[in-house]
């Protein structure tokens, strides 16, 4: 599978052939960090497809299988004869060894998991500037028993005689460890050696070149037609709006549906920012009453999400008819979504492609594909951190680029139980104080998310000699890499104290603040 690249688009310099590793995306990101464009492809990609893409290098990923199993995923053997430099990582190395006539067996009592120092036997280009005895990250239960012809070992560990191997004549290399993970001390050096010194890739891909290359492609795709974009104010839709506006100017119409669950002052900020400052046309749709009415009497979290999602699509359909017609719909699809839906992963037992985990919750802004539009998705080859860089290059302020993730259903899922305007106002004020104090303490960019949650119970308190009976607010602060797992943030006491004091003093109807000290798993980041 090589997912639909347009002729005008940049072709990847390095292909990552995926054998079901959890690190395949990470390898792609590391290479892109070296400003070299890379894409993940299925191991079932044919030699002909690879030739068409004309890459300068191929990396064979790790994977959960053992190469000697009957359903072990393989690649076409001719790939090793294309004359394109190849680096096999873990399973990728073992596969190359086996397919080229060597032997791989279970490591018996010598399986390695975690850190291990490597000892360099033979300096070569791949290990250039990689220090002897540097710590690399291992995770393998098999090892090489016999090398194929023309290969020699270039590094070993205490437990593995073949930690790195090379066939310099044919530019084929393998490493048993994972250079892509940050725990591997000289892992990035090794990856850069492969892409620059062995594949001769240029360091020529960055946010600016992405923008310059995307604009004519968008212009060609859209022609003189109108494009509609559902703007939420998050980093993806905002970056998309800036990119499209630069490419097609007023042919772009952004629709901002205010369901009433945004944070304090956010709708006003967005309208001012896009419309007044950057002259990007934004149609403001005030649907606040409509959404809150639909949620009357509803307290089940899933039902709330469903109602908000469905209503969003209804409003979107009605308003796009009113403002249209539009030929194109712009979507902020990102590369991880593309990889997931393309299913480059493989079931180790059957050898079949399998779709990897799909997020259980969907974005309210994620519109169904059966809407009558053609799609414009210029961010579909980018990872989130790359979108931020593109956004920054396009002139988006840090306020948007570094914004914490905010769920599509907004504050409605941070008010547990039934939502009311009174509770929304209360939570908005508390949430504003949380962000204000976290920013003032210089912690905003270190924390993945910091927010307030309103509980649907009342607790007794005392203020100024008077008994109070009011809602508690939960303070939720987490650190995370991708939102899939998270740890609660260890916020200094003085900041917790300040937040708590301000909330109980400044927000009417709140008399207590509690701090959530649950990681994910077992908790989730949001409370609903
Ligand atoms: P959970 O609560 O599942 O959240 O640990 C993980 C991350 O996803 C965000 N989140 C959402 N984002 N639509 C979104 O666009 C949603 O419905 C949604 N629900 C949760 C959450 O804020 C966290 O960053």
Whether 213 and 194 map to the same domain: the answer is no
Q: Is 363 in the pocket of ligand 1 (CB under 6 A)?
A: yes
The pLDDT value given to residue 373 = 87
Whether 363 and 422 map to the same domain: the answer is no
Whether 385 and 439 map to the same domain: the answer is no
Name the residue among 347, 333, 482, 379 with its Cα closest to residue 42: 347
Whether 123 is in a domain gets the answer yes
Whether 238 and 183 map to the same domain: the answer is no
**Centre of ligand 1 from the C-alpha of residue 526, in Å:** 7
Neighbours of 159 (CB within 10 A): 16
- Sequence-separated (6 or more) residues with CB below 8 Å from residue 458: 469, 470, 471
Task: Give the atom of ligand 1 at the shortest distance from the alpha carbon of 448.
Answer: 24
Whether 1 is in a domain gets the answer no
**Centre of ligand 1 from the C-alpha of residue 487, in Å:** 15
Whether 160 and 53 map to the same domain: the answer is yes
The pLDDT value given to residue 366 = 59
Name the residue among 409, 442, 412 with its Cα closest to residue 427: 412
The pLDDT value given to residue 354 = 43
3-class SS of residue 276: helix
- Closest-CA residue, ligand 1 atom 18, reads 407
Whether 138 and 46 map to the same domain: the answer is yes
Name the residue among 225, 26, 59, 181 with its Cα closest to residue 126: 59
Please name every residue paired with 324 in a beta bridge, in sequence order, or none if there are none.
Answer: none
* End-of-domain residue from the set 198, 230, 259: 198
Whether 351 and 442 map to the same domain: the answer is no
Whether 179 is in a domain gets the answer yes
Give the residue numbers annotated as catalytic, written as ranges: 90, 178, 180
Query: How many domains does one find in the chain?
Result: 3
User: 490 lies in which domain range?
Assistant: 414-515
Please name every residue paired with 391 in a beta bridge, in sequence order, or none if there are none.
Answer: none
pLDDT in tens, the chain (528 residues): 455 677 788 999 999 999 999 899 999 999 999 999 999 999 999 999 999 999 999 999 999 999 999 989 999 999 999 999 999 999 999 999 999 999 999 987 777 888 999 999 998 999 999 999 999 999 889 999 999 999 999 999 999 999 999 999 999 999 999 999 988 999 999 999 999 999 999 999 999 999 999 999 999 999 999 999 999 999 999 999 999 999 999 999 999 999 999 999 999 999 999 988 899 989 999 999 999 999 999 999 999 999 999 999 899 999 999 998 999 999 888 888 777 666 555 554 555 544 333 223 444 455 676 777 889 999 999 998 999 999 999 999 998 999 999 999 999 999 999 999 999 999 999 999 999 999 999 999 999 999 999 999 999 999 888 999 999 999 999 999 888 889 999 999 999 999 999 999 999 999 999 999 999 999 999 999
What is the rounded end-to-end Cα distance, in angstroms, of the chain? 37
Please name every residue paired with 33 in a beta bridge, in sequence order, or none if there are none.
Answer: none
Whether 6 is in a domain gets the answer no
Phi, psi of 281 (to 5 degrees): -65, 120
Q: Is the dihedral of CA 178, 181, 185, 187 positive or negative?
A: positive
The pLDDT value given to residue 367 = 67
The pLDDT value given to residue 349 = 54
* End-of-domain residue from the set 198, 223, 251: 198
Whether 5 is in a domain gets the answer no
The DSSP annotation for 3-62 comes to ----TTSPPPSEEEEESS-TTHHHHHHHHHHTT--EEEEETT--HHHHHHH--SEEEE--
CA distances from 339 to 40, 243, 461, 502 (A): 7, 23, 52, 45
Q: Is 518 in the pocket of ligand 1 (CB under 6 A)?
A: no
- Closest-CA residue, ligand 1 atom 16, reads 407
Whether 177 and 211 map to the same domain: the answer is no
- Closest-CA residue, ligand 1 atom 22, reads 407
Q: How far apart are CA 37 and CA 206, in angstroms?
A: 8
Whether 428 and 338 map to the same domain: the answer is no
Whether 525 is in a domain gets the answer no
The pLDDT value given to residue 154 = 97
Q: Is 232 in the pocket of ligand 1 (CB under 6 A)?
A: no
Decide if 25 contacts 68 (C-beta within 8 A): no
CATH classification of the domain holding 473 = 3.30.300.10
Q: Is 408 in the pocket of ligand 1 (CB under 6 A)?
A: yes
- Ligand 1 pocket test: pick from 361, 406, 482 the residue with the most ligand atoms within 8 Å of its Cβ: 361
Whether 136 and 247 map to the same domain: the answer is no
Whether 405 is in a domain gets the answer no
With vertex at residue 418, the alpha carbon angle to CA 416 and CA 422, rounded to the nearest 5 degrees, is 95
Q: How far apart are CA 79 and CA 85, in angstroms?
A: 10
CATH classification of the domain holding 367 = 3.40.50.620
CA distances from 462 to 453, 467, 511 (A): 22, 5, 8
What is the H or E stretch that residue 388 is in? helix 384-393
Whether 172 and 33 map to the same domain: the answer is yes
Which 3-state string (H, E, C) describes 309-346? HHHHHHHHHHHHHHHCCCCEEECCCCHHHHHHHHCCEE
Whether 241 and 362 map to the same domain: the answer is yes
Q: How far apart are CA 528 and CA 227, in angstroms?
A: 34
CATH classification of the domain holding 44 = 3.40.50.880
The b/e string for 443-471 (b: 16+ C-beta within 10 A; e otherwise) is bbeebbbbbbbbbeeeeeeeeeeeebebb
- Ligand 1 pocket test: pick from 405, 487, 488, 518 the residue with the most ligand atoms within 8 Å of its Cβ: 405
Whether 312 is in a domain gets the answer yes
Q: Is 179 in the pocket of ligand 1 (CB under 6 A)?
A: no
Q: How far apart are CA 309 and CA 315, in angstroms?
A: 10
The pLDDT value given to residue 48 = 93
**Centre of ligand 1 from the C-alpha of residue 194, in Å:** 37
* End-of-domain residue from the set 174, 198, 222: 198
Q: Is 384 in the pocket of ligand 1 (CB under 6 A)?
A: no
The pLDDT value given to residue 275 = 86
Decide if 151 contacts 76 (C-beta within 8 A): no
């Amino acid at each position: 599978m090589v997912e639909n690249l347009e002729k005008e688009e940049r072709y990847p310099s390095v292909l990552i052939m995926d054998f079901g590793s959890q690190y395949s995306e990470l390898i792609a990101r590391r290479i892109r960090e070296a400003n070299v464009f890379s894409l993940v492809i299925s191991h079932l990609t044919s030699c002909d497809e690879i030739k068409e893409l004309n890459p300068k290098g191929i990396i064979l990923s790790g994977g959960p299988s053992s190469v000697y199993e009957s359903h072990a995923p393989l690649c076409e053997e001719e790939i090793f004869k294309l004359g394109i430099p190849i680096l096999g990582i873990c399973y990728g190395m073992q596969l190359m060894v086996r397919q080229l006539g060597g032997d791989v067996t279970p490591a018996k009592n010598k399986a390695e998991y975690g850190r291990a120092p490597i000892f360099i036997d033979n300096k070569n280009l791949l290990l250039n500037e990689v220090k002897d005895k540097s710590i690399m990250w291992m995770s393998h239960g098999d090892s090489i028993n016999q090398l194929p012809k023309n290969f020699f070992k270039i590094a070993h560990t205490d437990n593995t005689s073949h930690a790195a191997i090379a066939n310099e004549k044919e530019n084929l290399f393998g490493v048993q460890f994972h250079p892509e993970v940050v725990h591997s001390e000289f892992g990035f050096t090794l990856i850069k050696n492969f892409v620059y010194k062995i594949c001769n890739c240029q360091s020529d891909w960055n946010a600016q070149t992405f923008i310059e290359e995307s604009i004519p492609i968008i212009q060609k795709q859209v022609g003189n037609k109108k494009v509609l974009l559902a703007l939420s104010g998050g980093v993806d839709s905002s970056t998309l709006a800036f990119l499209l506006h630069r490419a097609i100017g007023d042919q772009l119409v952004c629709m901002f549906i205010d369901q009433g669950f945004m944070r304090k002052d956010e709708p006003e900020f967005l309208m001012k920012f896009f419309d007044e400052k950057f002259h990007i046309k934004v149609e403001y749709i005030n649907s606040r009453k409509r959404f809150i009415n639909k949620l009357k009497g509803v307290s089940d979290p899933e039902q709330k999400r469903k109602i908000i999602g469905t209503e969003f699509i209804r409003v979107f359909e009605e308003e796009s008819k009113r403002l249209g017609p539009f030929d194109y719909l712009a979507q902020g699809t990102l590369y991880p979504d593309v990889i997931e839906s393309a299913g480059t992963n493989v079931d180790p037992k059957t050898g079949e492609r399998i779709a990897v985990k799909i997020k259980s919750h969907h974005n309210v802004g994620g519109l169904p594909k059966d809407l009558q539009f053609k799609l414009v998705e210029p961010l579909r080859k980018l990872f989130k951190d790359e979108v931020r860089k593109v956004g920054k290059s396009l002139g988006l302020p840090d306020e948007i680029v570094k914004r914490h993730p905010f769920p599509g259903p907004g504050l409605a899922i941070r008010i547990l139980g039934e939502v009311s305007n009174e509770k929304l106002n209360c939570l908005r004020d508390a949430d504003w104080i949380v962000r204000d104090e976290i920013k003032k303490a210089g912690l905003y960019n270190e924390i993945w998310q910091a927010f307030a949650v309103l509980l649907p119970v009342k607790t007794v308190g005392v203020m100024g000699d008077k008994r109070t009976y009011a809602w508690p607010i939960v303070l939720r602060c987490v650190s995370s890499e991708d939102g899939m797992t998270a740890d609660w943030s260890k916020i200094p006491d003085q900041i917790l104290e300040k937040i708590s004091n301000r909330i109980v003093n400044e927000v009417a109807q709140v008399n207590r603040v509690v701090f959530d000290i649950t990681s994910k798993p077992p908790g989730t980041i949001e409370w609903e």
